[in-house]
Structure 1
């Protein structure tokens, strides 16, 4: 059985989910427990070394100097230097190991998010802005790096320092220690108030940054620039971006001021503490209380500074962690997205794929987009079709009839919500992903090329392809001569989304790439609908070469490209209303005949330019390997 994949996911709350979220964050560090234990030992050693200095200072002031013991003075001074050296060495080693661990955790997190997104269905990307995805991977994970690489270590280091310092202060004078610790609740109160506010601001700031990133991605792409300028909307887009940037300015100022006010108050408290200790010791001496030696007093104030610095950092870490929890939450939202296209637990692996494709009572509905797993109106309803191995089926119909959706069901870009699609008699949902990707090739109207060389784009389909295989595929796709005429040939960089090539050239590059993949089943999704008639003829010749001896499902916009198909099916409102050959459907004088007449009125005849003619010989080496 293949139940519909319903989403029941909801974003975590701020308070109830926070402990679980913290446990999830700690789980990221689990593979690095050994290295973290070493960091802990180094932190403890550094804390002990730093605490030793005030005690050495006390002995210098109370014993070595008053008694004129030069040897002891030299030894104690040397001990202070050694303490500083050891503290620094332990700190450097701690930073090296902790930074390495932090960067590995960041790598694991980036890879996990990217891998999760790679497994999402096409529906996710049709309803999510590209800039939003990029912002989560770049800005949010980038914003967490400081927390993971340094803040976590600082948390342990500062906590250890606070504990060691308090113990040392008690050893010096417990009464002064009590006075000092009475002011700590003030630090906690300030940090919590500011931390909660800063977390709220950080969440809003990251959302605003995501909006800005999405705007930049959409409007500053090649297509966005062309659209903005040709529509006279460049100034409007600039103003819209400025408004978004203005909102970010306010949030950045508020975030920085929240932290600054906290630091200002803490600085005042820290400056007042030595004065309070001196005043307390002076009053005790004045009114006959227990006296405190000069060495003890100076050493205690030194320890007090050692206490408040890590305490301030510790509380600052708390604020930073609170802010970073918002970033982790946004990343975990992506990691928690339900995967609606999954590989079965025990997948079927086909060896030799013959290529028979069947649609059996297929129904498809898009996710309602309500976040509750609801479904919209049926896009496809009761579709029963068979494409024999090596045969061809063309799907035609008006816009919105469900043609492209039908093509997306075979390679599982979407999953059916009713019925099933089979390949060689096996439900495509039971096949392993590798079998399906090897068996089904797709050439769509919207060709995607990477910002890389022609050769790199072709080898994306077959990384180990030889140069001769590239040339053979390009010749079959009627594009080799054009590539060879370029100054850099196959080393030519195609530009962003292939904008250095025309629409027809990009389509032929995509066809060459699919020829290299050599799939037994081919989906052609309106591959020539955006081309002029003359270019269409050239691309159609390449498609004919690609389709030879393959099971072909053609999603057609121009009916002139489907006349030779073994079978034509007409979709209307998601249902198959007619089927047959070109001649049979014309004789019935139904929907298909009306579409042909309309197409003939819209399609002017253009002379066809001669193209490369050595197409068949170029295909023979590829066919012989199948």
Structure 2
């Protein structure tokens, strides 16, 4: 919480000071009516003492009882009016301060999250991140808006009223104040006990958000699989976990809050009993001296104002611990180490020719088995290099290493002779266009999605890119053309339409290097023809790295690199690889139905691989046929 103020409080400090000052003055003004009432009872109604008000010079005190009565009246009214005004100033000041800090914390945390490596997002659930950026940041705003002022008001009230009580009657004040050490000790115990419980609550909120977010995104699969009951139970389990953790906090609070009220109530009752006996029978042992009726009335009013904040300390402690747990999660996210960063002497790629080189590249996710092992190939400017191979061979990983979404474990990836680790990340990714099978479109209009990443492009440039991507005609048929909203992830468009929009986006960005990751694998034949024609325009004159399962789409590539279990096993043109009758020829023969291209040994190795992956039965079925 100290860090919250030190990093985000400075710029908005004037609003904080105004709100907090008004809060303190409001607490001080609140004691004035009770103090004036006590003086008026003794000096005006009973007339057994002189009329005096603390901090008011005697020259301002009128001589007549009537004038003193009306002075008391107007002072009380003025105190109530001032209290209302100060409450408004406090609310405005702290509301502006807390909301500005909330905005700054949320934006900075989001910016820090954007800088994190892709490995973080591989492990972290979307719902957990949303919980931090929304729920946890909102908890900090609540703390700054109301909890902080409430805590300060508590301190001011306790200190200020304790001073007034001692001023009125130091002996009777001891009776009231004796509860303070007990209340403080009980509060310290409560804070230490509830702190880990609030951490658990915040974690369970993130888990519940993750479960719900996943299910909403996967609703089509849930419905198609008729797994509504199963998913309901999973949501119910996550919700019950949150319920159990939250209930544990509530149970502890139900022990703390009534106990605080009981201790405070005992202090008030003791003050009333001893003060009442004092007035009726004189000072009880060991007390001495007189006690006036007005003093006693003021004492009771002040004691109540003293007891109420103490008994409500639990709410402040609860809110503080909740905010503290949220602060730990927020700064825990913001402070995560970023491994993929620009070096101090990072090279900016101003002019990119487009030569891409993988030099004995190896890579593993974390401490797992290597995904790529000593992979080497070169794509000269303007060439097309295709990466093919079975699922899990490491093709997409190679593309991610080029974009430097991950760092290589060994070897080097180079662009125009520069190791990508020595290149400024922004300039590297500006030079590379990426079109994937899993197209991501934002909830917005067609126009916004095509212009994404090329925001300064003109209308004519956007339309030209859409035409080149075979997208303009279907866009024109949409209800509002380029201004049609396409829904979250482009849900209102077909797969082929989404793919063509992503190609138009890449064309508008005009990158020197292009990565196509399964760009035509999930569309029908007619749409594939349109997309392939658009891709031919897009790749013209650019260095292109193509990842493909449909080998027919890359048969004209300058070089085809065949990966198997993370290693380069073959490399060459389509005709050369087919003639080698190796893995590529096997894959080509299976897809093309050309069994003559498949050698018996290659086919057996392919079958063995499928068996190892549990794709086919380990032993052939014995049905009496040829097998």
TM-score of Structure 1 vs Structure 2, range by shorter chain: 0.7 to 0.9
Instruction: Decide whether the 8 Å contact of 1:440 with 1:520 is kept in 2.
Output: yes
Q: Give the alignment partner of residue 214 of structure 1, picking from 210, 213, 230.
A: 210
Q: Give the alignment partner of residue 279 of structure 1, picking from 273, 277, 283.
A: 273
Distance across 1 between alignment mates of 2:113 and 2:556: 39
Q: How does 1:473-492 map to 2 (within 5 A)?
A: 473-492=465-484
Q: How does 1:44-83 map to 2 (within 5 A)?
A: 44-67=24-47, 69-83=65-79
The unaligned stretches of length 5 or more in structure 2 are 48-63, 596-627
CA change 1:192–1:492 in 2 (3 A) is same
Instruction: Decide whether the 8 Å contact of 1:195 with 1:323 is kept in 2.
Output: no
Instruction: Decide whether the 8 Å contact of 2:468 with 2:537 is kept in 1.
Output: yes
Q: Give the alignment partner of residue 554 of structure 2, picking from 562, 565, 573.
A: 562
Give the structure 2 partner of residue 529 of structure 1: 521
CA change 1:487–1:167 in 2 (3 A) is same
Distance across 2 between alignment mates of 1:315 and 1:186: 14
Query: After alignment, is 577-586 or 399-408 more displaced?
Result: 577-586
Distance across 2 between alignment mates of 1:478 and 1:315: 65
Give the structure 2 partner of residue 392 of structure 1: 384
Distance across 2 between alignment mates of 1:103 and 1:381: 51
Q: How does 1:7-406 map to 2 (within 5 A)?
A: 22-23=2-3, 26-67=6-47, 69-221=65-217, 224-284=218-278, 286=281, 288=283, 289-367=288-366, 375-406=367-398
Q: How does 1:452-467 map to 2 (within 5 A)?
A: 452-467=444-459
Distance across 2 between alignment mates of 1:515 and 1:153: 55
Instruction: Decide whether the 8 Å contact of 1:192 with 1:319 is kept in 2.
Output: no
Instruction: Decide whether the 8 Å contact of 1:364 with 1:378 is kept in 2.
Output: yes
Q: How many residues align?
A: 574
Give the structure 2 partner of residue 9 of structure 1: none
Give the structure 1 partner of residue 603 of structure 2: none
Distance across 2 between alignment mates of 1:572 and 1:25: 54
Question: Larger RCO: Structure 1 or Structure 2 (Cα < 8 Å, ≥ 6 residues apart)?
Answer: 1
Distance across 2 between alignment mates of 1:246 and 1:377: 37
CA change 1:402–1:602 in 2 (3 A) is farther
Instruction: Decide whether the 8 Å contact of 1:363 with 1:381 is kept in 2.
Output: yes
Instruction: Decide whether the 8 Å contact of 1:483 with 1:490 is kept in 2.
Output: yes
Distance across 2 between alignment mates of 1:162 and 1:180: 11
Give the match's secondary structure for 1:398: coil
Instruction: Decide whether the 8 Å contact of 1:356 with 1:423 is kept in 2.
Output: yes
Instruction: Decide whether the 8 Å contact of 2:414 with 2:420 is kept in 1.
Output: yes
Query: After alignment, is 107-116 or 284-293 more displaced?
Result: 284-293
Q: Deviations over 1:494-553 (max 9, x none)?
A: 122112222111111110111111111100011112223332222111111111111100
Query: After alignment, is 348-357 or 189-198 more displaced?
Result: 189-198
Q: Deviations over 1:558-583 (max 9, x none)?
A: 11111111111111121212111112
Q: Deviations over 1:405-427 (max 9, x none)?
A: 00111111112122221222222
Give the match's secondary structure for 1:415: coil
Give the structure 1 partner of residue 602 of structure 2: none
Instruction: Decide whether the 8 Å contact of 1:188 with 1:315 is kept in 2.
Output: no
Give the structure 1 partner of residue 51 of structure 2: none
The unaligned stretches of length 5 or more in structure 1 are 1-20, 368-374, 604-626
Give the match's secondary structure for 2:593: helix
Query: After alignment, is 183-192 or 86-95 more displaced?
Result: 183-192
Distance across 1 between alignment mates of 2:365 and 2:128: 22
Give the match's secondary structure for 1:377: coil
Query: What displacement does 1:602 show?
Result: 9.6
Q: Give the alignment partner of residue 431 of structure 2, picking from 401, 419, 439.
A: 439
Q: TM-score, normalised by structure 2?
A: 0.87
Query: After alignment, is 68-77 or 246-255 more displaced?
Result: 246-255
CA change 1:26–1:167 in 2 (3 A) is farther
Query: After alignment, is 246-255 or 98-107 more displaced?
Result: 246-255
Instruction: Decide whether the 8 Å contact of 2:388 with 2:562 is kept in 1.
Output: yes
Distance across 2 between alignment mates of 1:132 and 1:39: 33
Distance across 1 between alignment mates of 2:262 and 2:151: 23
Instruction: Decide whether the 8 Å contact of 2:13 with 2:97 is kept in 1.
Output: no
Give the match's secondary structure for 1:381: strand
Give the match's secondary structure for 2:106: helix
Query: What displacement does 1:484 show?
Result: 0.7
Query: What displacement does 1:84 show?
Result: 1.8
Query: What displacement does 1:42 show?
Result: 2.7
Query: What displacement does 1:287 show?
Result: 5.2
Query: What displacement does 1:24 show?
Result: 5.1
Distance across 2 between alignment mates of 1:248 and 1:32: 35
Distance across 2 between alignment mates of 1:152 and 1:345: 42
Instruction: Decide whether the 8 Å contact of 1:51 with 1:165 is kept in 2.
Output: yes
Query: What displacement does 1:150 show?
Result: 1.6
Q: Deviations over 1:314-367 (max 9, x none)?
A: 453223212322221122221122112212233222222211111122121111
**RMSD after superposition:** 2.1
CA change 1:307–1:234 in 2 (3 A) is same
Instruction: Decide whether the 8 Å contact of 1:187 with 1:315 is kept in 2.
Output: no
Give the match's secondary structure for 1:512: helix
Q: Give the alignment partner of residue 503 of structure 2, picking from 496, 504, 511.
A: 511
Query: What displacement does 1:25 show?
Result: 5.5
Distance across 1 between alignment mates of 2:256 and 2:389: 66
Query: After alignment, is 526-535 or 411-420 more displaced?
Result: 526-535
